[in-house]
Amino acid sequence: MQIVYQAQDIAEAHIVAGMLRANGIEAHVAGHYLQGALGEVGTFNLAQVKVDGSDFMNARILIEEYEHNTCNPNNHNEEQHGP
C-alpha cells in the first residue's frame, strides 16, 4: 500500500477514500488512532489514504480533480451551467 493522499483530518480522508472506492479503487484510511490519541490540536497530516501500488496513478488523477474542485468551487458550477 502506498500513501496517495494526506488529508486535513479523518473526515476528509474518508471522503477521499469513498470517492476512490466509488471509482473502483480499493482505498484504506490510516491514522484513526493517532488522531484520537492526540485530540484535535496539532493533528494535521495524520490522516492518510492508502491504495495499492497498481492503483496509485489512477487514484492521483481522481484526487487531483477532487483538489481542483475543492480549491475552486466556482469552476465546477461554471462547467455545469456555462459562463
Q: How far is CA 37 from the centre of its chain?
A: 22
The domain total for the chain is 1
**pLDDT at 61 (0 to 100):** 97
**pLDDT at 50 (0 to 100):** 98
DSSP 80: H
**pLDDT at 65 (0 to 100):** 94
**3-class secondary structure per residue, the chain:** CEEEEEECCHHHHHHHHHHHHHCCCCEEEECHHHHHHHCCCCCCCCEEEEECHHHHHHHHHHHHHHHHHHHCHHHHHHHHHCC
- Answer whether residue 1 shows pLDDT above 90: yes
Q: What is the pLDDT of residues 48-77, one digit of tens each?
A: 999 999 999 999 999 999 999 877 766 555
Q: What is the pLDDT of residues 6-41, one digit of tens each?
A: 998 899 999 999 999 999 999 999 987 665 555 555
The whole domain housing 20 covers: 2-81
Residue 33: count of CB within 10 angstroms of its CB? 9
- CATH number, domain containing residue 39: 3.30.70.1530
